[in-house]
Chains A and B, each alone.
Chain A
């Protein structure tokens, strides 16, 4: 069984907030002028990561199924004169990179992940197997527009972060993954976000053969 202690958990749940409104709401959390170039997901991931003060020696795991949907839409719309800015912004881990590059914060081990039903379980497995004293797990989605209309973007905007350690310290919760029967998983990213937001305990198959226990103190 793999176990870690939750030292902190943060969420952003902006509902139907448009990117411009998110930018305005969070502009004081970032250096002046920086938000102009940030995506909505970048702003939200930055907002939930900032209190964790990432360091070079953390393992960082990022989970998103669709990632930068708005930048991807913009890049696709920019053809045949493809936009270089939107190209680089649309690349999967851009949300995290926007935040860390702005802070010039190196991080040794960074695992950007994607997927669907098993994404949460596998992201946590990466974090729990890490060799660093602290692992940070973050993730989220941003609501698409025309990609959403075609069923290939998230309908919800949200972000979360978790700080995990191997020692209990002043933990606010505990996470563990254990081997179990190969029944299908039932924990997608949105459901995990909701559990973090509501401080809800979980005991379920998060992926085939992986049972997740999430408890709060």
Chain B
């Protein structure tokens, strides 16, 4: 059996995101205007370190506090959820993140202040958030680095499609800390340069950004969009590299090609700004969807890590709603693929978007977002 997609369409009843620029509309507007949220900041916060492109929510310090200083931003996002009763048996919550509150463990190690420990593990962090946000106990947690959000979307889709829930909330977040920035800096992919996704240049670089998002999925007739198909694939080739022939990218995309049928799509790629992964991704997407415009928004927002799939889903939906698709900010030719769109363009000639994300371990995820009805 070859790779297949989850092809039971579900409705995107509601969506929202929060980035350095603010809510979904503010983020979309800033991207359309070509603004860059990333700023050069020391990777270890008050401890200093090399400067690197980081995008933090307004007024937030990279250094952890107890409770974490990102709670007000999560509250701000959660306040936009269209209803309550989340975490009950028929309204499950899927929390996804790569780092949860692990920055608090770094803060504890540095300060020996035990108050940080209450947020440091994924389970403690999610339990704390659950109480803060008033959710019931039916909360499932996925953590698969930068495809985490896609797993939440996939399982939420399965639950509502199986009739085991009326609606499912996917809630994704990742906020930067010296732990995270220091880790990526140690891999030497976070350097002083601003990212230029898909640009063919001598040295690659990424930026990191705060991000959080939600998506509410249902089989009921709610919302303007559908997630029509989803696909995942895990190469298990190398922790930090992909198969050199791009086979992992292609394997994940293949089922989505079938699902797009004759739809006219544009592509929201992963596009962090690393060279090899960018080249492989652009090559695979270009081959699968010839001529379809390809964008990445991480050159502005930074890579929002475990939340990126949900953050970028919200921006993609907003792009379809407003008719304006932000370009690949920070990138100028030469690029790996002629179809890389550096400037904002109109959604009007298109009727769907393919959104992809990738992660450590050669993990790949993709989904097809279409207008409703599915």
Contacts and interface: CB of A to CB of B under 8 A. Distances in A.
A65 B143 contact: no
B186 interface: yes
Given A92-B143, A118-B139, A131-B6, A87 B183 contact: yes
B159 interface: yes
Contacts of B49: 80
Interface in A103-151: 103-119, 122, 125-126, 129, 131-132, 147, 150-151
Contacts of B68: none
Interface majority SS (helix, strand, loop, mixed), chain B: mixed
Contacts of A53: none
Q: How large is the interface on B (under 10, 10 to 19, 20 to 34, 35 or more residues)?
A: 35 or more
A26 interface: no
Contact of B44 (A76, A79, A92, A115): A79
B187 A118 contact: no
Contacts of B248: 106
A57 B1 contact: yes
A161 B155 CA distance: 21
B188 interface: yes
Interface stretch (A27-35, A93-101, A196-204): A93-101
A76 B126 CA distance: 21
B239 interface: yes
A83 interface: yes
Interface in A172-213: 179, 182, 184-185, 207-209
A81 B88 CA distance: 44
A91 interface: yes
A72 interface: yes
B34 interface: no
A58 to B, nearest CB: 10
Interface string B245-282: 00010010000000000000000000000000000000
B277 to A, nearest CB: 15
A135 B89 CA distance: 24
A112 B139 CA distance: 15
Interface string B351-367: 00000000011110000
Contacts of B232: 108-110
B137 interface: yes
Given A75-B183, A77-B109, A110 B363 contact: yes
Query: Which 3 pairs across A and B sit closest by C-beta, in order of nearness?
Result: A209-B89, A87-B183, A100-B236
Interface of B: 1, 3-4, 6, 44, 47, 49, 88-89, 98, 102, 105-106, 108-110, 114, 117, 120-124, 126-127, 136-145, 151, 155, 158-159, 162, 164, 178-179, 182-188, 232-240, 248, 251, 360-363
24 contacts: A56-B3, A57-B1, A65-B123, A72-B102, A80-B49, A82-B186, A84-B183, A88-B187, A91-B98, A92-B144, A97-B361, A104-B236, A106-B235, A108-B233, A109-B234, A113-B142, A114-B141, A114-B143, A118-B140, A132-B1, A150-B108, A184-B137, A207-B137, A209-B89
